[in-house]
Amino acid sequence: MMHSKSQPLKRILFIATTTHIGGAEKILSAIAKHLHQEGVSVAVCSLKHKGPYGEQLESLGIPVYSLDMANDSGFQGVLSYLFSLPRLISKIRSFRPQIIHAFLFRANLLARIAANLCRVSINISSIRIIENDRPFYFFLDRLTSSLVTQYLAVSERVKEVTCKRSHIDAEKVRVIRNGIDLSTFTSSGRAEDQGSSVLQFGIGPHSLVCGTVARLHHQKGIRHLIDAFALLRSEFPDLKLLVVGDGPERVNLANQAAALGVSQNVIFAGERNPPVHCLRLMNVFVLPSLYEGFPNAVLEAMAALVPVVASDVGGVGELVRHEQNGLLVPPGSPSRLADAIRSLLLNPEKARVMATLAYDRIRREFSLDGMLQEYDDFYEELLSKESCCG
C-alpha cells in the first residue's frame, strides 16, 4: 500500500454527516474497510445516529462514534452544531489522527473547525454533490475554505462548479470518481430472480419493468419518473415501475401514483442493500435526478447490464455517453423521460448493445480496486508533503 514512505498512514478519522444508506456513505465504508484490512487504524464519527454502514463497520472492529446530532434546521440546527463541536473535538483528541477526511456538507464544515482547533494538519473535505438549491452552502464553503488542506471532488463537473461558486483554487481540488465492485453485479440470474419476485413484487416473468434505485428525496426527481410512467401506461399496459429506496418523499410519491391511477403498477420496494436483485428485474433503469455528483446508482445499473436513462446533471455525463452507452435527458422533463424509456423498450437490441458498452466501460475505468488505489496514492501524497514541510 503506502508503507514505503517515511511517514506511512497509521491513523485516519473519517467524519460523515450520516452512516445511513447513501452513495457517499457507501464509498466511505469501502475506503474504511480497505484501510482497516491494510492495517491502518481507522475510526468513523457520524454526526447523526449510527446507520447500517456504521453498524457494519463496527462489526468489523472499526470504532464508530455518533454525535447524535438532530435533523434540525435554522436556529435549532445552529445550536445542534455548537453542542456537537466539543464532542467532536474530544473524539479527535482521544484518537489523534494524522488525517481527518470528512464526507458531506455538515461534516465538512464541522470537521474543518474541529481539525484546526485540534491542530490536525491534514484535513480533507469531500464534495459529493452540486447543491443547486442551497446557494448558502457555497458561501459557507468559501468562508471556511482556508481551513481545508485539500478538497476531493467526485467528478470533474463537481470540481468545476465548486471552484467557480466557492472561489477555490483548482489546484486545491482533486477528482477521484466512484468505483464499484463488479463481482457483485453479474448478468446471470435474471430469470431466477423474476421467478421469485412474482410473490414478492407481483412482477410476472413476462412483465416489462422500468425502475430506479434512489433515496426518495426531492433531489432525485422521482415525481417526474412517475409522471413519465403514467404517459407510457396506455402504450405498455403490463409495464411496471419498481422504485427501490426510501426517504421523506415516499408518502407523497405514493399519493401521486394514486392520483394518476397507476398505483397498481408502481411498486415501492423499500431499501434493498445491495440492490442487485432488484436491478436484474429491470428492462430499463432510470435516474431522473434534478442535481447530482457522480451517482453510484448509475454505476450499479451499468454493472448489472441494465440499459440506463438518466438526467444530464452533475457528473452523470462523465459516465453516460448519450446514444452510446445510455440515454441522457434534461432534468425535470417527464415527456423526455418517457420518450427515452419508450425508445429502449421498443428497441431491445439497441438497449442490449448500450448496456454491454456501459458494462465494458465500468470494467475498464470504474473498478473499486482502481478507486481504492487512487485514495491510497492521495493519502500518501499528502503525508509525503507534510513530512517534507514539517
Give the pLDDT confidence of 243-258 residue by residue, as tens digits.
999 999 999 999 999 9
More confident residue, 54 or 387: 54
Are both 211 and 350 inside the same structural domain? yes
Are both 155 and 276 inside the same structural domain? no
Pick the range with the lowest mean pLDDT from 5-19, 92-106, 314-328, 372-386.
Answer: 5-19
Determine the pLDDT at residue 79: 67
CATH code for the domain of 284 = 3.40.50.2000
**Helix ranges restricted to H, the chain:** 23-37, 52-59, 74-95, 105-117, 135-144, 156-166, 190-201, 222-232, 250-259, 276-279, 296-303, 334-346, 348-365, 368-389
Indicate whether 148 belongs to any domain. Answer: yes
Query: Taking Cα atoms as reference points, which of 155, 40, 39 lies closest to residue 14?
Result: 40
Question: Mean per-residue pLDDT for 22-49?
Answer: 95
What are the pLDDT digits (tens) for 179-206? 999 988 864 444 445 445 555 687 877 7
Q: Could you give the count of Cα atoms lying within 13 Å of 374 in the half-sphere of its Cβ? A: 18
Host H or E run for residue 268: strand 266-270
Question: Mean per-residue pLDDT for 327-341?
Answer: 98
More confident residue, 106 or 356: 356
Are both 383 and 330 inside the same structural domain? no
Confidence class of residue 118 from pLDDT cuts 50, 70 and 90? very high
Indicate whether 72 belongs to any domain. Answer: yes
Are both 357 and 245 inside the same structural domain? yes
Whole-model pTM? Answer: 0.89
Residue 33 and residue 23: Cα distance in Å, rounded? Answer: 16
Does position 3 have pLDDT exceeding 70, yes or no?
A: no
What are the pLDDT digits (tens) for 52-100? 999 999 999 999 999 988 765 555 655 677 788 999 999 999 999 999 9
Are both 238 and 342 inside the same structural domain? yes
Question: Mean per-residue pLDDT for 385-389?
Answer: 74
Are both 356 and 246 inside the same structural domain? yes
Residue 87 and residue 67: Cα distance in Å, rounded? Answer: 7
Confidence class of residue 315 from pLDDT cuts 50, 70 and 90? very high
Determine the pLDDT at residue 76: 61
Indicate whether 2 belongs to any domain. Answer: no
Does position 13 have pLDDT exceeding 70, yes or no?
A: yes
Phi and psi torsions of 147, nearest 5°: -85, -5
27: domain range?
Answer: 11-179+367-389
What are the pLDDT digits (tens) for 220-274? 999 999 999 999 999 999 999 999 999 999 999 999 999 999 999 999 999 887 7
Indicate whether 6 belongs to any domain. Answer: no
Are both 171 and 148 inside the same structural domain? yes
Are both 154 and 239 inside the same structural domain? no
Q: What percent of the chain has pLDDT over 70?
A: 91
Length of the chain: 390
Residue 111 and residue 147: Cα distance in Å, rounded? Answer: 9
Determine the pLDDT at residue 284: 98
Return all residues near 22 (Cβ < 8 A) that are at least 6 apart: 215
Domain total in the chain: 2
Indicate whether 214 belongs to any domain. Answer: yes
Determine the pLDDT at residue 83: 82
Are both 93 and 117 inside the same structural domain? yes
Indicate whether 298 belongs to any domain. Answer: yes
Question: Mean per-residue pLDDT for 134-145?
Answer: 79
Contact 184, 30 (CB under 8 A): no
Are both 129 and 224 inside the same structural domain? no
Confidence class of residue 277 from pLDDT cuts 50, 70 and 90? confident
Average pLDDT, the chain: 90
Determine the pLDDT at residue 386: 79
Are both 127 and 239 inside the same structural domain? no
Sign of CA dihedral 192, 198, 201, 205: positive
Indicate whether 297 belongs to any domain. Answer: yes
CB atoms within 10 A of CB 196: 12
Indicate whether 3 belongs to any domain. Answer: no
Are both 63 and 111 inside the same structural domain? yes
More confident residue, 219 or 207: 219
Q: Give CA torsion, residues 26, 30, 33, 36, to 10 deg.
A: -120
